[in-house]
Chain A
Amino acid sequence: MATETDTETGTEVESGSASVFDYERREQLLKYGLYVVAGALLVFLWIPLAVMMFLSFAVNASTIFPFKGFTSAHYAATFADGALLTAVWHSVQIATLAAAVATVLGVLASFALARYDFPLKETYRTFGILPMVIPGVVLGIALLIYFRTLLPQLFGIVIVPGFWTVVLTHSVYGFPFVVLMVTARLYTFDESLEEAARDLGADPLTTFRDVTLPIVAPAIGAGFLFAWIRSFEDFIRVYFVKGTLNVLTTSMFSMIKYGTAPKMNAISSLIVFAIAVVLAVAMNVGNVTGMVAGTEGEGE
C-alpha cells in the first residue's frame, strides 16, 4: 500500500531529526493555529451582525463612516410602524399554527416510522424529509401554481393565496424537522421501559402518558421550536404563496429593496437579541447542541 510507505518515511524523518522539544513546539503551534482559525471564523460569523447592531444605534444608519453619533430614534420609529408590527404579528400567528400542525403530524409519523414496519416505509421517510431539502424557490413555485391554477381549474377549489396558504405551506415545510428530532429520540428510547409499565398493569394510554411522552417530550419541543423558527424566518415560500398578505420577512425584503436601512437595522438587531435570549435559555435547559447536530448525546 502506498500509504504504508508514506508513513514509514514520515516516522524516519521525525525520529531522526526532531527532538522532544521540537515535537512539543510543533504540537503547541498546531494547537494555537487551530485556535487562531477558530477565532477568525467566529469573527467572520459575527462581524456583519456586530456592524449591523452598531448601525442600529448610529445616526447615519447605512455605513459607519462618516459617524455622526448615537441615537435610539431608529428603534422608536420601528415601534411606531404599525404595518411592520402587523406583519410581525402575522408571522407569529403563522409560525405557531404551522408548527403546531407540523408537530402533530410529525409526532404521529415518527411513531409509525420508529415503531412499525410497513411496505414502502423508506419511501415514506424520504418523502417526509423532502420538504426540508427542496429549495424554497421550487417548493414556492410548485405551491403557487398548485393553489392558483391546479385546484381551481381541475377541482374547482378556490383557495385565495393569503394567510391560510402560507400556514399550509409552512406546515408541510416544518414536518421533516419534527420527524427527524422525534424519530431520533424514539430510536434511542429503551422500549423495555414501556414493557415494564405494561407488566405493572398500566394500559397503553397510561403508559404513553406516564412513560413515553415525558421521554419524547424534549424532542417534540425541539421539533416544534425548529418548525416555528423555520416558518418565522422563511421568505421565499411565503413570497410566492402569500397573495397580498405581509409577514415580517416580506416586509423586511421590501425595506431592503427600497433602502430604508434605519428600521431594518433596528428590527434585525432586536431579532438577534431575542434569539440570543431564547438560545441561552434553551442551552441551559436542554441539550441544544445534541438536538441540532443530530447526535442524541446523553451527556450534558
Chain B
Amino acid sequence: MSTETSGRGEASTRERFVGAFNSRASKLGITALPGLTWLFLLLLAPLTFMIAVSFVSVDTLTYQIIWEPTLENYQGLFSGTGPFWETAFFQSLMLSYGIAAVTTVLCLVLAFPLAYLLARRSGRTFKIVIFLVLLPFFTMYLVRAYSWYLMFGPSGVLNRTLLKLGIVDGPIAAFNFGVPAIIVGLTHAYFPYMLLSLYASLDGLDFSLVEAARDLGASRVGALKDVILPLALPGIISGSLFVFVPSLGAFITPRFLGQGKVLMIGQLIEERITSLYAIGFGSAASMFIVLSIVVAFALAFRYVSIEELGGV
C-alpha cells in the first residue's frame, strides 16, 4: 500500500488500524492471539491428546479409541517374558540415554577448544572457519547422516581405504554399523549446536578477567576452572541440552548407522506406529522422551534463563 495515494477511504482504514492499537486488550489480541491459537491447535491439543491416548486403549481393528482410563499401554512397555529390564523398550530406553549422554560429552569436549579459539580470534581467518563450521550445520541433517553411512560399514569408505592401503587385513569391527557409528553420526549432527552455544557465551566473556586471574597467580588450569568455566556455564548447559534432547529422540542416524543392530527409542516408536498404527504404545513410549526432556530442562533452568537457552 503506497501512502502517497492515500485517498479518503484509505485514510479511514488507516485510522481504524491505528485506532485498533490504542487499547491494551486489542494490542495484545492482535499480537499474541494468532500465535497462541496456532500453538493451541497444533501443539497443545495434539500433545494433550497424546497424553490422553497413552492412558486409554485403542480398538486394534477399527482404531477407534475406547475412552476408559487404563495403564495397559505403560504395562505393555515393561512386560515381556522376562523381568522389566529385559524388555525391548527398557533396553532401548537405556541405550538411548547412554548414546545421548556419550554424544553430549563428546560434543562438549570437542567443541570447547574450537569455541575458545573462535572467541579469541577475529578477522578473515575467523570468518573462514565460521563458514566451514556453519556449512555442515546448515546442510540437511539427512545428507550428513547419509555421508557417514557411506563412510561406515564392512565395505564402507573407511574399511575399503584401510584395506587398500594395506593397513588392515580385514574389515575393522569399529567401523561397522553399530553404536560407535551412531555416536559419530550424532556427534557430527549436533556438534555445531554445542559449538555455537559455547561460542555465544565465550564471545561475551571479558578475557581480561582471565589475564587478571593469571596475574594474581592462578595457574592455567585454575583460571580455566575458576574463571572461564563458571562464566561459560550457560553456554555449556544450553549446548548440552540442544545435543542431548535431539540425540535422545534421534531416528534417521540410528536407522542408517545402526543398520538394525541398534534400536534406539525413536526407531522403536516409529516402527510400532507405522507398521501397526499402535498409537497407545507409541504415545506411552513418547511420554518417556517427553518426561526426560522436562527433567533435563527443569535441571537446566536452575542455572540459565529461557532467553539464554534460545541460542540456537
A positions within 8 Å CB-CB of B: 3, 6-8, 10-11, 14, 30, 34-35, 37-38, 41-42, 44-49, 51-52, 55, 62-65, 101, 104-106, 108-109, 111-113, 115-116, 118, 122, 124-131, 133-139, 141-146, 149-150, 153, 168-169, 171-172, 175, 179-180, 184, 203-206, 229, 232-233, 235-236, 239-240, 249, 252-253, 256, 261, 264-265, 268, 271-272, 275-276, 279-280, 283, 288-289, 292-295, 297
Contacts and interface: CB of A to CB of B under 8 A. Distances in A.
B146 A252 contact: yes
A10 B217 contact: yes
B178 interface: no
A105 B31 CA distance: 8
B117 interface: yes
Given A145-B279, A205-B18, A271-B140, A3 B222 contact: yes
B258 interface: no
Contacts of B80: none
Contact of B222 (A10, A64, A115, A203): A10
- Counting chain B CB atoms within 10 Å of each CB, the highest count among A113, A168, A235 belongs to A235
Nearest to A288: B134
Contacts of A145: 46, 49-50, 53, 279, 282-283
Contacts of A106: 35
22 contacts: A8-B217, A30-B220, A41-B111, A51-B157, A63-B160, A105-B34, A106-B35, A118-B32, A127-B39, A135-B248, A138-B290, A141-B286, A142-B50, A145-B53, A149-B63, A180-B310, A235-B141, A235-B252, A283-B134, A293-B312, A295-B204, A297-B203
A3 B226 CA distance: 8
Contacts of A6: 219, 222
Given A129-B310, A137-B249, A205-B18, A253 B142 contact: yes
A109 B148 CA distance: 39
Contacts of A240: 273
A1 B117 CA distance: 31
Nearest to B155: A63
Contact of B157 (A63, A138, A150): A63
Contacts of A137: 249, 251, 266, 269-270, 286, 289
A35 B121 CA distance: 11
B97 interface: no
Contacts of A265: 150
